[in-house]
A and B are shown apart, each in its own frame.
Chain A
């Protein structure tokens, strides 16, 4: 499978601030998926990106796939306490290969 690296490992923001997590690969990815895991919960699928340069939005969340298909990002505008959790990117393979995740803490 194609390994992906995520940064940062942790991010602590004040409610209302923006947040971005980055996912990088040394090889070209055919696609990338993003998941969110709430504290004490299980990962839940957010989105899949397939096309070079693709940008998709889900309310305050913006997902991007790089032109070279080697990186991706998730940006949250004006964070809320409900955004707390760990965000994982996952690269393709015979089974998905998950990054180590970025844990987001939002302080009211």
Chain B
């Protein structure tokens, strides 16, 4: 069954702790994305990757880090530098965009709810 898998569904972070959110896809998509969702704020882009071993900062990258060592995996680390990490985190993937302004549709995972203890 093809799709995107995010884990865990719920995650709790202690003060000063780094936590990593997993995102795996078996859709053979080149591009992957991380969005943060806060109530009433829509989806804000954290990082995106158009191809393996390459990624770019989005609008709110501070306090986050990513890696893209494999095509199917795009883990997100929420570092201790992120002072307000409580949010719903959504990973998505798509076929490679043909150029700026020609976005392919996104397929989303079921999300991870991160809370601070």
Q: Which residues of A contact B (CB under 8 A)?
A: 1, 6, 9, 30-31, 33, 35, 41-45, 48, 88, 90, 92-101
Contact = CB atoms under 8 A, between A and B. Distances in A.
B9 to A, nearest CB: 11
Interface stretch (B16-24, B36-44, B65-73, B75-83): B36-44
Contacts of A9: 40
B105 A98 contact: no
Contacts of A94: 48, 50, 56, 97, 100
A92 B106 contact: no
A31 B102 contact: yes
Contacts of B108: 42-44
A30 B102 contact: yes
Given A88-B43, A101-B42, A33 B103 contact: yes
14 contacts: A9-B40, A33-B105, A42-B108, A43-B108, A45-B105, A92-B103, A93-B100, A93-B103, A94-B97, A94-B100, A96-B33, A96-B103, A97-B45, A100-B41
Contact of A42 (B100, B101, B109): B109
Nearest to A10: B40
A6 B103 CA distance: 19
Contact of A100 (B42, B56, B106, B109): B42
A29 to B, nearest CB: 8
A98 B43 contact: yes
Interface in B2-60: 33, 35, 40-45, 48, 50, 56, 58
A90 B103 CA distance: 10
B57 to A, nearest CB: 11
Contacts of A6: 42
Contact of B90 (A33, A43, A99): A43
B81 to A, nearest CB: 22
Interface in B71-117: 90, 97, 100-103, 105-111
A42 B50 CA distance: 21
